Structure 1
Amino acid sequence: MKSVSVIVPVYNVEKYLARCLDSLLGQTQPDIEILVVNDGSTDTSGRIVDEYAQKYPDRIRAFHMENEGVSAARNRGVAEAEGKYLTFVDSDDYVTVDYLELMVEAAEKNHADLVVQGFRMVDESGNVLAEVCPTAYIPGEKEEWPLRIISAWGRLFRREFWMQHNLTFPLGVRAEDAPVNLAANALAHHIQVVPRAGYQYFQHSASAMHNFKGLQKYRLPYEALEKTLQYIQETGLVNDRYFYEYCVMRILAFWVFEFARGSSVAKIKELCHYIMDMLNTYIPEYMRNPYVNPFRKLEIPFVHRASIWVLAVLCKLHILTPVIRVYAKLLH
């Protein structure tokens, strides 16, 4: 069995793909497999994928599919994976040489289902724009780091855990990471963090979030998130309830303050009604969560803590929709 299956979804990244794959080939962690899934690229990315697979047949496996989106590409990679652990790397990003070794070491030492490592945001010149580096994870006391890192990358999952809970990325939506990460944060019996920023998140003009223009052409994973909340409720929460609820609120706050901008009134209403329904149904006592207080000491930026508090207050006062409509209009 391979130690790690690294899943790399690819779509039109001919300029950056070699850098990503070279960083994975240079890993100090032995016996990894790199599963590169070409999601119907229209540039030369597919050819680059094949060239690397032919050059490194023992380490890289190439898959080609019609364009179905990043979720479908990741799901295909998971289906083909043979490693003990799973991790995801976006094809325009790259990682430091010991990125995988440090996470596998933490997982093996602590029998972890989930390991989280920090990241650096870098620009096209290699300048570090920001760095997020975890400190510690203490069950029931300091559980914020898994909800601080909200993307699929920067995480190592035990494949057995992934398959046990039938985790999958929802198709045809934005923010596809949220349901998967929420389930992992809630259900992993052992979680570890690596106090390093080994993932290099590349911020450039063509990146998806950089070019996001609202929810006119996109949909959020409403159904998938609700199914995840139901599943966690039925299966039984493993980790701290307050941190879990805070994680749900973190997702909802991110959605409303990030994705409402540039969206139509109808889309904003749909989003706000969904958020209020989720809170009232699954976290009816959200205002009593001690972490909602923005001045509670957590290793989460104050602006994020404040956004969660604002969301909670607006929902409690039943004025979320009108306020977010004004907010979106001002920032449009």
Structure 2
Amino acid sequence: MKYSVIVPVYNAERYLKRCIDSVINQTFFDWELILVNDGSSDSSPMICDEYTKNYPGKIYTIHQNNCGVLCARRVGIAYAQGEYLCFLDSDDYWDANLLNEIDIFQVEYDSDIIVFGFRKVGFAQSKNKEELPTDQLFLYQGKDMQFIYERIVAGKMSSLWAQVVRRAIIDFSTDYTNYYHIFIGEDLLQNLAFVDKASSVLLVPNAFYNYFYNEEGLTRRKLTPLYLDSHVFVQEQLFSYAKKWIIPLDPIYQSFRNVFYKCFKSFYQDALFSPIYTKQEQRQIIVYLSSGICKTYLAHVNIVWDHKRCSLCLFLLKRGNFRMLQMVLFFFRILNMIKNAY
């Protein structure tokens, strides 16, 4: 088997057939498709089973209780038999020539990882806009791999679905069960290990993948300690690999501090203008942002006083004055309600 295609499936009934059909319609035929149903409550399990019945020996379905996309991908990886592994999200789809084009590159360059571009579809303002990893074909190996290390640390090569990975470099021995709570940056978490073991990476200036931008699926996400903890955990892994690859850490710290500032700003605005948090939830977020695991980064976040109310709240957070911060947020909220009333 040359290529194993791994698709995590969770409540994807609206788009799943399109996704699966895009693999079936490939002009290259040496592949297997592994569908990992991650506890879906819609008709997705039946759709998976139907395709498995109709394509025996080509399409396989694994049913499991819901444990997240990271868990689903690792289950699919463990089951895969292909020499190369491909990753496809259940609401996205491939061009019909993806595997054929990838195989041509693989035969000529024999690269451990092949990275290709994608186009956004389903969103009017950016429909069919291509995002490419490079403007010219280039094989990175030996000393040139430093460019790839710097690229992934900079967050420019984090999506598993935009690449094909040789099975031989997959970290099968790594136990990811303690990471299953991670739901932000889970692709980057795995890709760091893949790139670390890779001897060569090929960047291809072509888009073969269609990333479906589903506006209906976009909802305002509450900031939670789990959300923040995902950021923290993945960032710590990033620091570890950056040190190993001898990459300057200052830009990474700055990037991480920016993430924390954006998180706090989002929390401030939601707590003030769209009160979606209970008092207990507010305190949980405030305590977590001020905890030891975050303090190192939070201490270096610059307070910009162009937005005085938000900056005051950030100042109180950095000082660890939780009670005062909650009182100020409540006071600002009352002022905002009075202002809107008139």
Identity of aligned residues (%): 30
For each residue in 1:1-41, what CA deviation from the matched residue of structure 2 results, as whole angstroms up to 9, or x when unmatched? Answer: x1111110000010000000001111123211110000010
The 8 Å contact of residues 174 and 220 in structure 1, kept in 2 or not, is answered as yes
Any gaps of 5 or more consecutive residues in structure 1?
277-314
Give the number of equivalent residue pairs: 282
Cα distance change of structure 1 residues 270 and 115 upon mapping to structure 2, 3 Å threshold: farther
Give the letter for the 2:170 counterpart. W
Give the letter for the 1:173 counterpart. I
Match of 1:151 in 2: 159
| CA–CA separation in structure 2 for the residues paired with 1:129 and 1:267 | 40
| CA–CA separation in structure 2 for the residues paired with 1:87 and 1:257 | 35
* Aligned pair partner of 2:287 in 262, 266, 286: 266
How far did residue 181 of structure 1 move?
Answer: 2.1
Cα distance change of structure 1 residues 72 and 25 upon mapping to structure 2, 3 Å threshold: same
* Aligned pair partner of 1:214 in 192, 207, 223: 223
TM-score (norm 1): 0.71
Match of 2:273 in 1: none
| CA–CA separation in structure 2 for the residues paired with 1:20 and 1:250 | 38
How far did residue 189 of structure 1 move?
Answer: 1.4
Any gaps of 5 or more consecutive residues in structure 2?
268-284, 315-342
How far did residue 258 of structure 1 move?
Answer: 5.7
How far did residue 131 of structure 1 move?
Answer: 2.2
How far did residue 257 of structure 1 move?
Answer: 6.0
The 8 Å contact of residues 216 and 267 in structure 1, kept in 2 or not, is answered as yes
The 10-residue stretch of structure 1 (100-109 or 267-276) with the greater mean CA deviation from structure 2: 267-276
TM-score (norm 2): 0.69
The 8 Å contact of residues 118 and 149 in structure 1, kept in 2 or not, is answered as no
Cα distance change of structure 1 residues 140 and 62 upon mapping to structure 2, 3 Å threshold: closer
Match of 1:319 in 2: 300
The 8 Å contact of residues 132 and 207 in structure 2, kept in 1 or not, is answered as yes
| CA–CA separation in structure 2 for the residues paired with 1:328 and 1:60 | 56
Partner-residue secondary structure (3-state), 1:149: coil
The 8 Å contact of residues 182 and 248 in structure 1, kept in 2 or not, is answered as no
The 8 Å contact of residues 118 and 198 in structure 1, kept in 2 or not, is answered as yes
* Aligned pair partner of 2:171 in 163, 174, 180: 163
For each residue in 1:93-133, what CA deviation from the matched residue of structure 2 results, as whole angstroms up to 9, or x when unmatched? Answer: 11111222333333343232211111111116797164211
**Is 2:207 the counterpart of 1:197?**
yes
Partner-residue secondary structure (3-state), 2:28: coil
How far did residue 150 of structure 1 move?
Answer: 2.2
How far did residue 329 of structure 1 move?
Answer: 7.8
| CA–CA separation in structure 2 for the residues paired with 1:211 and 1:130 | 25
Cα distance change of structure 1 residues 30 and 158 upon mapping to structure 2, 3 Å threshold: same
Q: Which has the larger radius of gyration?
A: 2
| CA–CA separation in structure 1 for the residues paired with 2:41 and 2:237 | 34
The 8 Å contact of residues 167 and 180 in structure 1, kept in 2 or not, is answered as no
| CA–CA separation in structure 2 for the residues paired with 1:258 and 1:190 | 35
Give the letter for the 2:207 counterpart. A
| CA–CA separation in structure 1 for the residues paired with 2:176 and 2:220 | 25
Match of 2:131 in 1: 132
Match of 1:106 in 2: 105
| CA–CA separation in structure 1 for the residues paired with 2:113 and 2:214 | 29
| CA–CA separation in structure 2 for the residues paired with 1:275 and 1:178 | 22
**Is 2:256 the counterpart of 1:252?**
yes
Q: Is the helix fraction higher in 1 or 2?
A: 2
